[in-house]
Structure 1
Amino acid sequence: MKKALSFMVIRVFILSFVFTVPFPSTGLDLGDIRSWQEVICKDGEYWSNNICCKNCPAGTHLKSACTVPGERGQCEQCEDETYTEHANHLHRCIGCKKCRPDQEIVQACSHTQNYLCQCKEGGFCTPEQACEMCKKCSRCDPDEKAVRNCTATSNTECKKIYLPSEWSPGKGKFDLKSPLWKQHKYAIYVAIAVPVIISVLLLVVGAVYIYIRKKKQAGGSEDIGLKIEEGKTEHTHRMGGLSLIFSPPRQYEPFPELIPVKGEQSLRSCFHYFEEISSYHHKRFFRELNLSNNVIQNCEHMQYEDRIDHLLGIWYEKVGKCANLNDLLKALLDLDQRHTAESIQEKALADGHYVLQESL
C-alpha cells in the first residue's frame, strides 16, 4: 500500500512539472487553431478537412482537396495568360501582367511564369527600386566621358575629364593647333561660358531690384492685377511696361468616379485585382487604408495573394457600408501608383463590375 501511494505521489509531481514548464513559442497565435494544425503538416503540404494534403505543382491550381492524408487533391492546369510559379494550393492561378508600353518582352507568359519585361532601348529601371515607369538614360556632359553605357537595369556612368597638366595655370598659353585643344575645347567653352552667363543674370536681377527700390522710394507703386480668362486664373505683374504672367501649376484631371453594378459583390469581386501591387508598396498601401502594423505583420505568413485578399477583407469590415473601390484607387494615387490604379480601373470596367458615373 505504501509503494502504491509513493508511486501516485511521484506521478502527480511529474505531471505538475510538465504542465507548468512553458512550451517554446512558435510565433503563432494560440487562438488561431488552423495555424496550430498547419504546424502538423510537412513542408509542401497544407491543412484541409482535418488532414494534410500535398500542394499542387507549379503551373496548376487546386480544384478539390485530397481525401486521404499525404496525397495530392485534384489539380487543374492554369488557363492561358495565367500562371503559378511554385507549388501551391491556390483556388485560381495568377493573371499574367503585361509589359508596359515603355517596356519590351524578354520572355513570354507561360503556365509557370509571368511575362519577363525590361525597359526599351534608351530607358532603364534599377532592380532595387519599384519600376512604375522607365527612366530616360542620361547623357554625359561635354567635359565627361562614358565609362559604362546605359542598360535596361542601370543608367549611363560618366567620368569627369580633367585637363592635362600642361594646360594648368602658369604653364603658358594654350596651343590652339594641338590635338589636345581640339579634343577638350568644348569643355573649356562650357567652363568659360557658364560663369559669364551666371554673372550676366546676376547683374540683370540686381538692376531690376534697384529699379523697384527706387520706384518705391519715389512714391510709385507696382501695378499688380488679377487676370481671369476662360476659367484660368493668372497673376499679372506689370513693371515699367513689362508684364510678367504667373500661372498656377497645372492640375491633373481627377480620377473618374466608378459606380458598382452589384454593390458589395462588385467591390469584393475586384479584390484580386490588387495583387498587382508590388510587394515593395503593399505595406504602405494598407497603412494608407488605416490598418495597423500589427494587423499587417500578422498576415506575413500567408502567401502574397491570400494576404492581399485577407487584408482587404479586414479593411472592408472596418469601413463597413462606406467602403468603395474609389477609396482604394485614391490610396494608390496618393502613393504615386497611378499605373497600377489605372490597370485595376480598366479591369473593373472590362469585367462589368463597375461603370463610369458619366455613362449613367
Structure 2
Amino acid sequence: MGKVRDSDGVAWGLLPLLLVTVLIMETQCKNYTEALKTYNRRIISRREVNCNEDEYKLDTQCCKKCKSGFVKNVTCPTDIIKHCVPCEKGKEFMNHPNDLDKCLRCKLCDSKFGFEVVKNCTPEEDTKCACAKNYFCGPPGCDSCIQCTICESGVIEKQCTAASDTLCGTKEPETLWWVIALPVLVVLLAVVVGAIFWRKRKQKGLTISEHQVYKPEPYETIPLIDPDADLSSYVPGIVAEMTLAEVKKFVRHHHVSEPTIDQSIQDCPGDTSEQKIRLFRVWYQSHGMKGAYGTLISSLRELKMCAIADKIEEKLRAAIASSQAGERSYNPDTEQSKTCTQEGRNSYSGSGGLSKACTGTLEET
C-alpha cells in the first residue's frame, strides 16, 4: 500500500514536467512552420524576379513572349510555336516581342490627301507613307500633305520638295514691261481699225443721222450676292465644282468631326455626289445662313482653292440673277416697260424708213 502511494506521488510529480515538455515541442513546431512558410515565399519571390528577357510574369508563373509578327492565343504561352499565331499579312503587324493577344492595324496611305505608299505593310513592320509628287509635308511631324503652290508669275526660285513648298519669284522688269505694253498696243490697234471702218462708212453715205441714233436699253448690271443669301438650294451646284477630297478638306477646316464625316460617307456608299452634298450640308447647318456665302468663298481661298472659289462665285451669281429675272417676269410694271420699249423700237424703225426715203429723194435731185 505504501508503494502504491509512492508511485502516485512520483506520477503527480512528473506531470508538470510532461506539460512543460509538450509546450516546448508545440512552440518549436510553430517556429518551424513559420520558417517553412517564409522559405516558400522567398522561393516564389525568387522565381518571379528571375523571369528571362523573352518572358513575362503572370501571377507566380513566367510566360513566354511572342516574337515580332505574332501574338498569343492562350493566356500564358509556354511554347511560342503552339501558343503564338501570326498577324494577317497586309492588314496587321506587330513590330516587337509582346504579350498581346491582338495585332495592330496597318496604316492607310490615303492618296486623296496627298499620301503614297513607300513600303507595304508586313506582319513585322507597319506601312511607310510619304507625300506624293506635287505635295509636301505639313507641320508638325508630317501628319498631313499639302499641295505645292503654283506660281502665278510663272517664276520659280525653288522647286517644291517633300519637306518644303514652292518658292515663287517675280518677273523681270523687261517681261513686266511687255505685259503692260501689249494691252496698250491692242487698244491702239483697235482704235485705228475703228477709225478706218468709220471713214469708209462715211464715204458711202451710211453714217447715222442725229435723229436715227438708237438708244439701247440700260444695261442691267448683275447684282452683288447678298452675303446672307440662302445657299441651301444651290448646294448640288456648289459641290459639283469640288472633288470629295476637297469637300472633306473644307469641312475639316471648319472643325466638322471625323465620326460625322465617316457617317456621311457610309450613309451613301458608292455615291460620291450625294456624299459631297451631305458633307456640305452638315457644315451649312452648323454654320447657319448668316454670312455663309462669305465664309465659303474666303475659306476656299485660304485653302488655296482659288480657281474653285471663282467658279462657284460665278455660278452662284448667274443662278441668283436668273432667279431674280424669273421673279421680275411676273411683275406688271415690267410687262408695261417691255411694251413701251417695243413701241419705242417701232417708232425708231418708222423714223428710219422716213429717213431712208428722204435720202433717196436727195440722191435723185
User: Structures share a fold, TM > 0.5?
Assistant: no
Higher helix share: 2
Structure with max Cα Rg: 2
TM tier, shorter chain?
0.3 to 0.5
TM normalised by structure 1 equals 0.34
Higher percent of residues as strand: 1
TM-score, structure 2 as length reference: 0.34
